[in-house]
Structure 1
């Protein structure tokens, strides 16, 4: 079985406090951190044992995972498993980078986000250059707020051409055509993010070849549909995997709509769906459907 899993454990603490972040942050206690570590290790053990399946894993924590040693260790260890095609994580890249030298660069990848005002620009850029030196697959992104435009332009100019710079439409922000054109100059795929995609009743890979897993092993079709499909650890989810239409009116998050079968994004991001790296070059283009 080929299966993509989006894992989100109980970790919610972050070293940044971005005012535009939609995630509800907390200061995790020692007990909560221990629980997150135990949940992650349980998931990693399950993934390591599924040698008859072909797995692709994306970690999407509410908080910042890579400042925690157990996330760095887990990604490193999983990257060396021959049945795991890709292991990736969303990160603000505030962590150290030396641990990546022990990971398999053919399997591990990072989805990095730059947050102006939370970290010095030069520090973030230096870490990106270190990733390039280490041969790590990664993309870099930014939230498309007007005050971030100059930082985004600077990043595009100073990152190597092969590093894809993506732009997320800011939650609740409406872009007129002139504003959208400014962001599309930097990210030709920004039109996919500009507006939510109508999804009600449309075919989606989630619930069939893509699932969401929480720290207790509860399986859902994606992070945005709360109906449960079973549990990862007792195997009950497997009988629930099948093609099914989206039950929501619209999908406005990349980790959701990238799996819609009505969009061409599996071709656009072929080989890099989880880490958000387009096939070919970093300036890959496509005719965006903005339903």
Structure 2
């Protein structure tokens, strides 16, 4: 099959270390050995080299298990990729624990950050300061929280203090069933919370993953997404190209934004037009009521 004119890649290398200790994260405070860090750096540099040579349109979202921006090689990769003419968007999921002045070297028309606020892990003013710093630099970013009951007031405060143009999303806490009243509280912060509130039935439904969107690990193994283990080929030997094509979802449900945003019946490519990777709705900020 001829590769799509534009390919979106979700890249997740071996990095698993994080400087936070969130109770809802299995990788909290995990440390990589020096050898593991060297392997992650080498894998990332190989991937960036592949993108550099890829001559069709491409967008990249880094979704590390750990905190990528604490590592210099991720910051360098984001800057370099943002300057490649065939890269439409390069983004990363991050806790924003690291300084953001490195973004001065990037093409801010292509770089984007997906930040997550963890109230138990960072002083509020420090996190808000990072967001304000990004906004002053003209960087494109969203921020969000996990919808734990104890996070509600912190999320409300953050919504009040953030610039109106910054979208604040809410991820439903894994395994939590929200009452309608609870869901209403979260929807006042994130009008799109309903998409995260419950898992989406997906088996047999058309999804862009495996056709124009793929997941790639540090070895270059290509899968349709992070949640379906079936291997489609390898990035570096080109074997993945012949396997790209329309395919239905094989899973019963999809409950993660980086998965269900590509599920075609939900129509979220229209909702997030121009901001699918960084989770920014096209119509944001919404018009004021009244």
User: What TM-score do the two structures reach when normalised by structure 2?
Assistant: 0.96
Contact 2:18 2:27 in 1 (8 A): no
CA distance, structure 2, for counterparts of residue 129 and residue 62 of structure 1: 25
CA distance, structure 1, for counterparts of residue 137 and residue 108 of structure 2: 8
CA distance, structure 2, for counterparts of residue 139 and residue 283 of structure 1: 15
CA distance, structure 1, for counterparts of residue 154 and residue 247 of structure 2: 41
1:66-145 maps to which residues of 2 (within 5 A)?
66-145=69-148
CA distance, structure 2, for counterparts of residue 61 and residue 197 of structure 1: 24
1:182-197 maps to which residues of 2 (within 5 A)?
182-197=185-200
Question: What residue is the counterpart of 1:173 in the other structure?
Answer: 176
User: What secondary structure sits across from 1:171 in the alignment?
Assistant: coil
1:56-71 maps to which residues of 2 (within 5 A)?
56-71=59-74
Write out per-residue CA displacement over residues 104-163 of structure 1, whole angstroms, 9 at most, x where no aligned residue: 000000000000110100000001000001100000100001100000000100001110
Write out per-residue CA displacement over residues 77-114 of structure 1, whole angstroms, 9 at most, x where no aligned residue: 11000100000000000011110011000000000000
Contact 2:18 2:28 in 1 (8 A): no
Contact 1:89 1:111 in 2 (8 A): yes
Write out per-residue CA displacement over residues 24-76 of structure 1, whole angstroms, 9 at most, x where no aligned residue: 7631000000000000000000001112x100100000000000000000000
User: What secondary structure sits across from 2:68 in the alignment?
Assistant: coil
Question: What residue is the counterpart of 1:55 in the other structure?
Answer: 58
CA distance, structure 2, for counterparts of residue 25 and residue 270 of structure 1: 35
Question: What residue is the counterpart of 2:217 in the other structure?
Answer: 214
Question: What residue is the counterpart of 2:234 in the other structure?
Answer: 231
Contact 2:272 2:282 in 1 (8 A): yes
Question: What residue is the counterpart of 2:281 in the other structure?
Answer: 278
User: What secondary structure sits across from 1:242 in the alignment?
Assistant: coil
Structure 2 unmatched runs, 5+: none
Aligned length, in residue pairs: 283
User: What TM-score do the two structures reach when normalised by structure 1?
Assistant: 0.96
CA shift, 1:280, in A, is 2.5
CA shift, 1:281, in A, is 1.4
The 1:94–1:2 alpha-carbon spacing in structure 2 relative to 1, beyond 3 Å, is same
CA distance, structure 2, for counterparts of residue 148 and residue 236 of structure 1: 45
Structure 1 unmatched runs, 5+: 285-291
> Are 2:258 and 1:255 aligned?
yes
User: What secondary structure sits across from 1:111 in the alignment?
Assistant: strand
Contact 2:19 2:29 in 1 (8 A): no
CA distance, structure 1, for counterparts of residue 26 and residue 281 of structure 2: 25
Aligned residues: CA RMSD: 1.0
CA distance, structure 2, for counterparts of residue 126 and residue 176 of structure 1: 33
